[in-house]
């Protein structure tokens, strides 16, 4: 158990809908990262938040957005869902994730999203 929690574990929805995925980092971690993993793409970095502020952006679509709240939990919002958005979505956390810091990312159990 990494100490990172994610809900829900599974999510099934229809095209065009909007969903929210939730992540709570390990106690004391300030950085949260979101990743998408599909069979043909591997683990793709979406976005990072540090202490409530966006820190880095990866291959995140404009239909997707995220935020980190004062209690450090984070939410990933996916809207106008398409069939191709079906994937495993992982959240990871680390101590700082800042320049010069070499801390390790610890991953949550993931949310499996199925878009029908």
Among residues 22, 26, 38, 45, which is the contact residue for another protein, using CB under 8 A? Answer: 45
C-alpha count within 13 angstroms, C-beta hemisphere, residue 11 = 26
Closest distance to another protein from the beta carbon of 16 (Å):
26
Closest distance to another protein from the beta carbon of 49 (Å):
12
> Please, which residues bridge with residue 35 across strands?
45, 90
Cα Rg, the chain, nearest whole Å = 13
CB 25 within 8 A of CB 12: no
Structure tokens at 22: 């939730």
Piece of 22-30, 66-74, 79-87, 100-108 that binds another protein (CB under 8 A)? 100-108
Residues at the contact surface with another protein, assessed by CB under 8 A: 2, 4, 33, 42-43, 45, 48, 56, 58, 88, 90, 97-99, 101-102, 104-110, 112
């Amino acid at each position: 158990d990494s100490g990172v929690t994610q809900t829900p574990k599974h999510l099934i929805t229809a095209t065009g809908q909007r969903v929210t995925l939730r992540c709570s980092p390990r106690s004391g971690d300030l950085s949260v990262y979101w990743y998408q993993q599909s069979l043909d793409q591997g683990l793709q970095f979406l976005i990072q938040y540090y202490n409530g502020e966006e820190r880095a952006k990866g291959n995140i679509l404009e239909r997707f957005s995220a935020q980190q709240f004062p209690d450090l939990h984070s939410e990933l919002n996916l809207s106008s869902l398409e069939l191709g958005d079906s994937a495993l979505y992982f959240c990871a956390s680390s101590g700082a994730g800042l320049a010069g810091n070499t801390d390790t990312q610890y991953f949550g159990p993931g949310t499996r999203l199925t878009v029908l």
